[in-house]
């Protein structure tokens, strides 16, 4: 009904009456929550609103089919829900993501918007809940306690689809680089010190494989999210629902969302447990951790360009300094790492929220929804950026890579089976002390002949398993030069 002041209508609930903007499709519950919870200014994600609307549509269709809801009311609710799911009324969802526990304001916001849209479809005016009631009709056979966890599951699954696509694209980008530079051998590095050789093809393929593994873990989390507890209502017992409701509403949600949902094995567990959300968040944490490592590698390999490693060249995307002309920084990996750190922090918040349930409910679901969906959005956008503005334009400086490979001393590792660890270690010490290349020290020590040394110190051969040449081993260890050098170590 319209209030005496222009632009408002008066609505009443068990706490009293309140003015609601006349043009608003939400009602008194949403208005109270809007005034109470002004924390971040951040609203719910589009996919979350879409998921809520699909739940309302499925519930109305199921209750109509079960003869519990008048067909005209049910049809109006279904039509209104479709409009909300399509995004036509997003401005009618003003609530902060930080709000009352269990997401009751989110649920009631959706109930009120759909109710008022349905009222108008039936020829009534907003606020005339005698036609369509937010609780009695739109929320029939539901509770915030089963609606919100179900909405988190559905919206997370919607949001993961583009993320999985971006993971695949980035992994494919690294595979392309692996094929392009499969023959380029570089110095391996462990503890940030020179190590045995490795091919860039192997390095880049390992990045792709890491991303593939993360995608598999996310897929496993998706399987857990497909089990829905809708129909459990307040505590999972299904009070105020038809015996066939949960099966029917889940089947309709599968149809509407295009996903293969199933009813939860234990509805009480599904009502209070946040394990599926934590599993999804953990999979994002693993992805973030791997991306941080990969980006750190890219920045180190790109470092320089004159005084450090500079084995790869990352695309220039912006000037790197406000004071140093010509300086270019690895801006894309830097941004990627910052994004991953935020996701790691979000995962911690989800973990804390997941363990904070009491008795038959976890009231921290609004926080879980916000952090989980935000993390997915951050990772999706970040991976797209990393692929398009960094990895796709990345090149390997083969000349620089060869220069550093020739200076490295860890190639001596290939000599271990032929001359032993102690002799090899002494050769490294001499090379460092005299600032001489490794092959020069070996030849001057008369331990090996040049032709044998070239065979053993084949960098490409060092990047894969191989058999020790027993005849060459015996010949080297039986030579006078080797015996004299080894004797000098005593």
Task: Provide the annotated active-site residues.
Answer: 321
Report the candidate in 147, 130, 139, 92 with the shortest Cα–Cα distance to residue 11: 130
Element (DSSP H or E) covering residue 185: strand 185-190
Coarse DSSP helix, strand, coil percentages of the chain, rounded to the nearest 5 percent: 60, 10, 30
Q: Are 445 and 412 in contact (CB under 8 A)?
A: no
Pairwise CA distance, residues 412 & 408, whole Å: 9
Structure tokens at 329: 């920084």
Pairwise CA distance, residues 110 & 88, whole Å: 13
Count H helices, E strands: the chain?
Answer: 18, 8
Q: How far is CA 437 from CA 170, 433, 459, in A?
A: 39, 11, 15
The DSSP string of 39-98 is SS-PBPPHHHHHHHHHHHHHHHHHHHHTTSS-HHHHHHHHHHHHHHHTTTTGGG---BSS
Q: Are 178 and 200 in contact (CB under 8 A)?
A: yes
Strands 8-13 and 16-21: antiparallel
Which residues share a beta bridge with 472? none
403: Cα within 13 Å, side-chain hemisphere:
9
Q: Are 483 and 445 in contact (CB under 8 A)?
A: no
Strands 312-313 and 185-190: unpaired
Phi, psi of 81 (to 5 degrees): -60, -40
Pairwise CA distance, residues 19 & 114, whole Å: 19
Element (DSSP H or E) covering residue 152: helix 144-180
Task: Name the region of 60 (left: φ>0; alpha: ψ -120 to 50; beta: rest).
Answer: alpha
Strands (E) in 345-441, as ranges, are 395-396
């Amino acid at each position: 009904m319209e209030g005496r002041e222009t632009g408002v209508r008066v609505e009443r609930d068990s706490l009293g009456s309140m003015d609601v903007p006349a043009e608003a499709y939400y009602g008194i519950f949403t208005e109270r929550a809007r005034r109470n919870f002004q924390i971040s200014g951040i609203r719910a994600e589009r996919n979350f609103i879409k998921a809520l609307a699909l739940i309302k549509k499925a519930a109305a269709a199921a209750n109509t089919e079960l003869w519990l809801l008048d067909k005209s009311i049910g049809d109006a609710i279904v039509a209104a829900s479709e409009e909300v799911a399509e995004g036509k009324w997003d401005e009618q969802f003003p609530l902060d993501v930080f709000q009352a526990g269990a997401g009751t304001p989110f649920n009631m916001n959706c109930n009120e918007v759909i109710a008022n849209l349905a009222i108008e479809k039936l020829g009534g005016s907003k606020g005339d809940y005698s036609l369509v009631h937010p609780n009695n009709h739109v929320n029939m056979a539901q509770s915030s306690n089963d609606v919100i966890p179900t909405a988190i599951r559905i919206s997370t699954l919607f949001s993961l689809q583009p993320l999985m696509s971006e993971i695949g694209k980035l992994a494919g980008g690294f595979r392309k680089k692996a094929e392009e530079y499969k023959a380029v051998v570089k110095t391996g590095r462990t503890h940030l010190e020179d190590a045995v050789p490795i091919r860039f093809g192997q390095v880049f393929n390992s990045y792709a494989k890491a991303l593939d593994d993360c995608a598999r873990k996310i897929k496993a989390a998706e399987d857990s999210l497909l089990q829905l507890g809708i129909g459990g209502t307040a505590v999972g017992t299904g009070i105020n629902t038809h015996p066939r409701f949960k099966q029917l509403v889940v089947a309709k949600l599968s149809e509407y969302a295009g996903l293969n949902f199933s009813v939860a094995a234990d509805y009480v567990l599904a009502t209070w447990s946040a394990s599926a959300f934590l599993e999804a968040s953990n999979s994002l944490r693993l992805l973030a951790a791997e991306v941080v490592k990969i980006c750190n590698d890219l920045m180190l390999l790109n470092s320089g360009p004159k005084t450090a490693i500079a084995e790869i060249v990352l695309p220039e995307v912006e000037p790197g300094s406000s004071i140093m002309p010509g300086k270019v920084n690895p801006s894309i990996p830097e941004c990627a790492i910052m994004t991953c750190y935020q996701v790691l922090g979000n995962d911690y918040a989800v973990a804390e929220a997941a363990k904070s349930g009491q008795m038959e409910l976890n009231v921290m679901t609004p926080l879980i929804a916000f952090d989980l969906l935000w993390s997915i959005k951050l990772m999706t956008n970040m991976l797209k950026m990393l692929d398009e503005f960094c990895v796709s334009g990345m090149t390997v400086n083969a000349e620089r890579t060869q220069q550093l490979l020739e200076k490295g001393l860890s190639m001596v590792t290939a000599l271990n089976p032929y001359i032993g660890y102690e002799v090899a270690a002494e050769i490294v010490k001499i090379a460092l002390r005299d600032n001489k290349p490794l092959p020069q020290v070996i030849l001057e020590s008369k331990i090996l002949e040049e032709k044998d040394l070239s065979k053993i110190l084949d960098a490409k051969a060092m990047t894969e398993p191989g058999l020790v040449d027993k005849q060459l081993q015996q010949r080297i260890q039986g030579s006078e030069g080797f015996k004299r050098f080894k004797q000098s170590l005593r």
